[in-house]
Structure 1
Amino acid sequence: MHRLIALEFPHLLQLYGCWIVAAVVALEGMGLPLPGEATLVGAAIYAGSTGQLGIGPVILAAFLGAVVGDNTGFWIGRGIGLRLALRYGRRIHFTERRIKLGQYLFWRHGAKVVFFARFVVLLRAIGAFLAGMNRMPWRRFLVFNMGGGAAWATFYGLAAYAAGNEFERLSGPIGAVTTVLAAAVLVAGLLFLRRHEQSLADEAERRLPGPIQPG
């Protein structure tokens, strides 16, 4: 959390309670560069050290913020992202065939991406948008989004509540490790995709025949 935000955060919690947690987490899920995880951790530490907030409401607020924000991001991706990709994608070699390949990969692996996106800095902001853009079925998205949001809010909330400032110190390295692991998985996936793009694209065409409809 930036120093200024950290200084003002207890005051914001006193004024708005768990609403500030829900709001920041939700806005991050919509794609805005806000510290959703740091807000959850800070609120949980505040709850544990002052007793002025219950850890249950803090976790619930983070969970609801994650679900609302991510679902908003999903529908933005569904409504705008695909249209933009179809209209301008060719300028960056993102052809319709590759768009269809992305939809196919989300059909096969989107559940894992959506669930674990909550634990990775960049994916927290864009994962839902990508799921919507790649036409992941909404009900399937909702199930794994809620599961990931519940696991994330509960783990970080309870750990910060129990360990206090010590966990805040460790949360940075934990986030860095998860980001590095996610980056390693992404690189490995991109290398695999580059080697097998032709066969996977053919498989995607068989699974999703015909032109892509943006609506």
Structure 2
Amino acid sequence: MHIQEWLESVPAVAVYLMVAGVIGLESLGIPLPGEIVLVSATLLAASQDHINPYVLGVCAVAGAIVGDSIGYLIGRKGGKPLLEWLGRKFPKHFGAHHVATAERAFTKWGMWAVFIGRFIALLRIFAGPLAGVLKMPYWKFLIANVLGGIIWAGGTVALIYTVGKVAEEWIGKFSYLGLVAAVLFGVGSFVVMRIKAKKAQAKADREPAGQPAAQSVAAE
């Protein structure tokens, strides 16, 4: 089967559910490549008329907001023992070093850590659960969560879809090359975000820890 025919056979509902599910699980606190999935699905929507970019954007935003909210509730119920358990299960993502870095971000930015965290790979996974663990007032968390979800997910879909439509004719003529370019673009964006997150983490590690994060966030 030609690659273009295969792409046309992908059910739109499956794409919507995959985007909402992966982004939701990542926002909940499970390390998944939500950004790669969102970028790749948006590029697919730009080349396939049966995938509606508006529905895709709504699914992405909903997954981000709902996932973060569930993560917040789990963190609020589980507390510090939850972070310790996650550290044992996912040491590369929830190790003591990563938790300390995220706590310093919350100490410095408060509710804005939830909003800013939507654009940073490390904080995107931590934001919901950690806000719950540190007892951030839910109304503050919800405002930052909704704004971050709309701007990050909706903005990404709008930007990538526009770029994809501009290149639609080129992708149509060179479908294999276009698919490879889409994958490379998604992987490249993920790598760039990881590099930026590591630089931000290294910078945060050099800063003094200051007062305990839990007291600072809860006091807001």
Q: Structure 2 length as normaliser, TM-score? A: 0.68
**Structure 2 CA distance for aligned equivalents of residues 86 and 113 of structure 1:** 21
For 1:178, the equivalent position in structure 2 comes to 193
Secondary structure of the structure 2 residue equivalent to 1:18: helix
List runs of 5+ in structure 2 lacking aligned partners.
Answer: 1-5, 88-95, 165-177
Q: CA deviation at 1:85?
A: 6.3
CA gap 1:106/1:119 in 2 versus in 1, 3 angstroms? closer
For 2:73, the equivalent position in structure 1 comes to 75
Bigger mean CA deviation after superposition, 14-23 or 125-134: 14-23
List runs of 5+ in structure 1 lacking aligned partners.
Answer: 1-7, 210-215
Bigger mean CA deviation after superposition, 160-169 or 180-189: 160-169
Q: How does 1:32-47 map to 2 (within 5 A)?
A: 32-47=30-45
CA gap 1:108/1:30 in 2 versus in 1, 3 angstroms? same
Q: How does 1:94-105 map to 2 (within 5 A)?
A: 102=103
CA contact (8 A) 1:119 1:175 kept: no
Secondary structure of the structure 2 residue equivalent to 1:116: helix
Q: What amino acid maps onto 2:27 in structure 1?
A: G
Q: How does 1:42-191 map to 2 (within 5 A)?
A: 42-84=40-82, 102=103, 106=106, 108-164=108-164, 165=178, 168-191=183-206
- CA deviations 1:16-65 (Å, max 9, x no partner) are 35233212211121122333222222221222111102111111110000
**Structure 1 CA distance for aligned equivalents of residues 216 and 114 of structure 2:** 25
Could you say what the CA RMSD is over the residues aligned between the two structures, in angstroms?
3.5
Q: Structure 1 length as normaliser, TM-score? A: 0.70
For 1:5, the equivalent position in structure 2 comes to none
CA contact (8 A) 1:120 1:178 kept: yes
CA contact (8 A) 1:59 1:154 kept: yes
Q: CA deviation at 1:153?
A: 1.0
Aligned length: 186
For 1:18, the equivalent position in structure 2 comes to 16
CA contact (8 A) 1:10 1:46 kept: no
**Structure 2 CA distance for aligned equivalents of residues 59 and 202 of structure 1:** 38
Matched, 1:201 2:211: yes
Q: What amino acid maps onto 2:80 in structure 1?
A: L
CA gap 1:201/1:10 in 2 versus in 1, 3 angstroms? farther
Q: CA deviation at 1:80?
A: 0.4
**Structure 1 CA distance for aligned equivalents of residues 140 and 114 of structure 2:** 10
Q: What amino acid maps onto 1:134 in structure 2?
A: L
CA contact (8 A) 1:115 1:148 kept: yes
**Structure 2 CA distance for aligned equivalents of residues 130 and 201 of structure 1:** 17
